[in-house]
Amino acid sequence: MERVINLERRQVHEQIYDYLKNAILNGELKPGEKLNQDELAKQFGTSRMPVRDALRLLQNDWLVENLPNKGFTVVEFSEEQLKDTLLFRSILEKEAVCLVKGRLTSEDIEKLETLAKEMEQCIERNNLSDMPKLNYEFHFTIYNLVPSKKMLETIKLLWDSFPRYAMLSTNEAALLSQNKHEMIINAIKNGDFEAAGELMRKHILRTNTSINKCE
């Protein structure tokens, strides 16, 4: 976080918010790390005000907290938070898979297969750094087709409330995830969206077991 970061022509605080949010979710900014407003303003080439506005948005997302005598810091994510997030995700995402029946095209399925293959190659090369992005794209290739905008927004909010890198932090966790992805694809190709939804539910709930086992 020492380099100067160039911003686009958007609301400055929104760009700072997006950048910091991704840095937290991808693990570039670690739990407990202090976010110094003066240093961030210097890095982004702006004043403190848009930095403060961005940090307040992150606070609303439960990704940072404003501690007395310490200021804004990245939150320490607890096991209880993880369990709650995965429980709500499992319920919503199972239903989301069922709701995209008749909406997924052959091109969408081909994209899922391509993403699954790319994740398999990452595991084979022991390159887990690309896994969170590919995993996110895999899931939202499905969820972006749900007819309920509110459901989609809620799923995205849940995904953005816990670090993505923690979900696939070891080869074992990534391999377990990848096996479920392939099973979900096969169920979808067979037209059994109920089975695909149930596989998705189990896949999400097993994430917590995989993380605990691999810690």
**Who contacts 55 (Cβ-Cβ below 8 Å, separation ≥6)?**
20, 35, 37, 64, 66, 72
Helix axes 12-25, 37-44, angle to 10 degrees: 110
Tens digits of residue pLDDT in 45-61: 999 999 999 999 999 98
Residues 122 and 132: beta-carbon distance below 8 Å? no
Backbone angles phi, psi at 52, to 5 degrees: -65, -40
At 108, is the secondary structure helix, strand, or coil?
Answer: helix
Judge whether residue 3 has pLDDT over 80. Answer: no
- Res. 75: pLDDT tops 50: yes
52, 37 Cβ separation under 8 angstroms: yes
Query: Is the pTM higher than 0.75?
Result: yes
- 105-159: per-residue pLDDT in tens? 999 999 999 999 999 998 888 887 788 889 999 999 999 999 999 999 999 999 9
Report the alpha-carbon distance of residue 57 to residue 188 in Å, rounded: 37
Please give the single-letter amino acid code of residue 39.
Answer: E
CA–CA dist 36, 43 (Å, integer): 11
> Is residue 152 exposed (0-12), middle (13-18) or buried (19+ Cβ within 10 Å)?
middle
What's the pLDDT band for 214 if we cut at 50, 70, 90? very low
Comparing C-alpha atoms, which of 49, 24, 26, 27 is closest to residue 38? 49
Number of other residues whose CB lies within 10 A of the CB of residue 211:
18
Largest interatomic CA distance in the chain: 58
